[in-house]
A = this chain, B = another copy of it.
């Protein structure tokens, strides 16, 4: 399921996101003092989503975590979709925001580091990948993260038009890679079965049900048979066996894909500058 965000009143959503609400300091008005806050709710919701996944995120569950009912949250937040916006932007504060020491000539290293950090960010908060990208949330931290990427890309010297499209290519690429890594982990964790077990059950059933698999899909079969499953080439093996195979494969795909993308950017630089 994909959760949609950003559908309420834009004014209200944005002023929550940018924390431009009425300033509470010293404003002791009538009525009981608030025992919650937007930040506390967002923090509880993020913790819940991190620990138990997007499927477990319900207003009742968030309320429970704070020792309150679901309806109590509606005093602070207009609804679930706005809460999701706030969660989304809140975690994006973890994105890298600057590489002050980096050499502008070495845009490749900087972009590689950036992509790695953004990948880890999404692996840490996999539910972020389930927030629909339709209608961007437009929160401060997401903008800050975007600003960092644009700054790094500037170092390539490419023109603004191409740069804009590169942003639109790099972000989805990292998201897609993170999705693959997260999926690999999820598969390993789900139903207590290891990834080997899962694959074993699946491929045994497949082989039985589709005996002519190799003939029907020669290219895929060839690829699976041909490629020797190696550890990271050109990298030390220490501790490598701790990462299960599907995740290792997903990370390697990320590494290779990023290399291809950066090679392509290099080509664009040489060709057009």
Is residue A67 within 8 Å, beta carbon to beta carbon, of the partner chain? no
A105 at the interface (CB under 8 A from B): no
A255 — which chain B residues lie within 8 A by C-beta? 165
Q: CA–CA, A10 to B222, complex, Å?
A: 24
Give the chain B neighbours of A138 by CB distance below 8 A: 202, 206
Taking the closest CB of chain B, its distance from the CB of A167, in whole angstroms, is 8
- Residue interface bits A249-266, CB-to-B below 8 A is 1, else 0: 110110111011111111
Residue contact A18 to B161, C-beta cutoff 8 Å: no
A228 at the interface (CB under 8 A from B): yes
Please tell me if A245 contacts chain B, counting CB pairs below 8 Å.
no
Q: B263 touching A187 by the CB < 8 A rule?
A: no
Q: Which of A4-30 contact B (CB under 8 A)?
A: 4, 7, 10-11, 14-15, 18, 20
- Which residues of chain A from 170 to 213 have any CB-CB distance to chain B below 8 Å in the complex? 172-173, 175-177, 179-180, 182-183, 186-187, 190-191, 198, 201-202, 205-206, 209-210
A130–B129 CA distance with the chains assembled, in angstroms = 11
State A4–B222 Cα separation when bound (angstroms). Answer: 29
Is residue A218 within 8 Å, beta carbon to beta carbon, of the partner chain?
Answer: yes
**Closest chain B residue to A182 by CB distance?**
B134
What residues on B are CB-neighbors of A257 within 8 Å? 165-166, 168-169
Instruction: For A1, give its contact among B3, B144, B216 (CB under 8 Å).
Output: B3
Number of identical protomers: 2
Indicate if the CB atoms of A133 and B1 lie closer than 8 Å. no
Given the interface contacts A133-B179, A183-B135, A260-B265, does A165 sit within 8 Å of B253 by beta carbon?
yes
A177 to B172, CA, bound (A): 8
- Does A1 contact B253, Cβ atoms closer than 8 Å? no
Closest to A180 in B: B168
A260, B264: Cβ atoms closer than 8 Å:
yes
CB distance from A196 to the nearest CB of B (A): 14
Which residues from B are CB-within-8-Å of A133?
179-180, 183
Q: How far is the CA of A191 from the CA of B218 in the complex (A)?
A: 47
| A268: interface (CB < 8 Å) | yes
Is the CB–CB distance between A173 and B182 below 8 Å? no
Query: Is A267 in the interface zone, CB < 8 Å from B?
Result: yes
9 contacts between A and B (CB under 8 A): A1-B130, A1-B132, A7-B190, A20-B209, A135-B183, A138-B206, A143-B216, A161-B228, A163-B223
Closest 5 pairs between A and B when the two form their complex, measured CB to CB? A172-B176, A1-B1, A169-B257, A260-B264, A264-B264
